[in-house]
Amino acid sequence: MGVREVMAMASFIAVIGPVIAQAQEPSRACSSSARYNVVPLPFIPRLVTPAGVVAGITELDRAVVWHRKSGVEELGVPEGFEFSEPVAVMPSGEVLINAIDADGHKRAAFTYSKHRFVALTGKQTWAHGVGAPGTIVGEWVPEGGTTADAVYWNDAVPHSIGLCCGGMLKAVNERGKMIGEAYDDRGHFHAFSWSPADGQHIIDPTDAYSSAVAINNAGHILLQVGNEGYLYDTGHPQHLDLAGKGYTRVEALNDCDVVVGGYGPVAEGYRAFVWSQAQGFRDLDSFLPADSGWKLRSAAAINDGGEIVGSGKWHGAERGFLLTPRH
């Protein structure tokens, strides 16, 4: 998409934003839908907040935020950096972003508010999520170290959790329970949960390699294990019955235990999906009219109101999308 197209689409969305806000305010309760309205977005979305605020990246790899009432805002990049991506939009309106320089050698995490960037304390920081008030999780290179390790910031103060061989924290829920990935002394990585009270607990249903993807406020954990997804609930890993063929990538989990992601034999043939306990695995294209012009390729995030964001092709061109349930 060219710059003029981006500006035109941004203006269009800014105009229709108030209409969407009046007609499609997100539900706060867990819900499912048999049909969706689809809103094209002039960027690739990465997240959608409980209030329906969407954040993502432009074709120039710059962080943007979209509000129903005001449309698209490009956040720019901190001085000394070339690219940025959003990690979270906080209830206060602050945006957590990661930034990287043109050569890919220097990286840092920042909070952004009122056109001002504030760097998180530490060297080579990289944020992955927010949860409990004032808590940000991610990774950094500790002073005197050379390997990235897990860290969380509580009210801007960094805390290392002391992994043996490096790793990262990927997400934290409102109760302060964290998940991440840790390397062992053989170089294998495993998903784990951690809290100050309970310490570290390895989560690996196949005892091979596992990746932590998301945790919800009930403490349920979404895992990627090879080509498959698992939902880990209080000590009992549940294998998710998804596409069954090719590669499946789980991307996000909401408080209703609804999972979204992408599947297909190869990346170029990916399709977006949604999964729930009640309705199982469903291709998201099946919820749209046959003449919608969309081929939804991957779903990146879902909120508790059932709104889903991701990327696909609209009349053959790459676009971001926001799906809003039709009740």
Q: Which residues pair with 224 in a beta bridge?
A: 211, 229
- Kindly list the domain boundaries of the chain, sorted by start residue: 1-72+242-327, 120-239
Q: Within 10 A of 317 (CB to CB), how many other CB atoms are there? A: 11
pLDDT in tens, 76-106: 999 999 999 999 999 889 999 999 999 999 9
Q: Name which residue leads in pLDDT, 4 or 143.
A: 143
pLDDT in the model for residue 25: 40
- Give 239-253 pLDDT, tens digit per residue: 999 987 778 999 999
309/133: higher pLDDT: 309
Report the pLDDT value the prediction gives residue 22, as an integer from 0 to 100.
30
Q: Where would I find the H helices in the chain?
A: 3-23
Predicted local distance difference test score (pLDDT) of residue 87: 98
**pLDDT given at position 207:** 77
Nearest of 160, 206, 165 to residue 182 by alpha carbon: 165
Bridge partners, 195 (sequence order): 199
Q: With the C-alpha atoms ordered 189, 270, 63, 309, is the resulting torsion angle positive or negative?
A: negative
Return the DSSP state at 188.
-
The CATH code that applies to domain 120-239 is 2.130.10.150
The DSSP code for 93 is: S
For residues 15 and 88, give the distance between their C-alpha atoms in angstroms, rounded to a whole number.
25
Determine the pLDDT at residue 275.
Answer: 96
What is the phi-psi region of residue 60: left when phi exceeds 0, alpha when psi lies from -120 to 50, beta otherwise? alpha
Q: What is the pLDDT of residue 31?
A: 60
Angstrom distance (rounded) from CA 1 to CA 8: 11
Place of tokens 């950094």: 140
State residue 18's pLDDT score: 32
- Residue 29 is predicted with a pLDDT of 58
CB-CB contact of 181 with 168 (8 Å): yes
Are the CB atoms for 238 and 231 separated by under 8 Å? yes
Q: How many CA atoms lie within 13 A of 317 on its CB side?
A: 11
pLDDT at 56: 98
pLDDT on residue 28: 47
Q: Which residues pair with 57 in a beta bridge?
A: 44, 63
Find the mean pLDDT for residues 213-222.
96
Strands 149-154 and 157-160: antiparallel
Q: pLDDT of 219-238, one tens digit each?
A: 999 999 998 999 998 778 89
What confidence tens digit (pLDDT) does each residue in 120-144 have? 999 999 999 999 888 999 999 998 8
pLDDT, tens digit (0-9, with 9 covering 90-100), for 285-298? 999 988 999 999 99
pLDDT tens digits, one per residue of 30-68: 666 678 999 999 999 999 999 999 999 999 999 999 998
Phi, psi of 127 (to 5 degrees): -90, 150
pLDDT in tens, 253-304: 999 999 999 999 876 678 999 999 999 999 999 999 889 999 999 999 999 9
pTM as predicted: 0.88
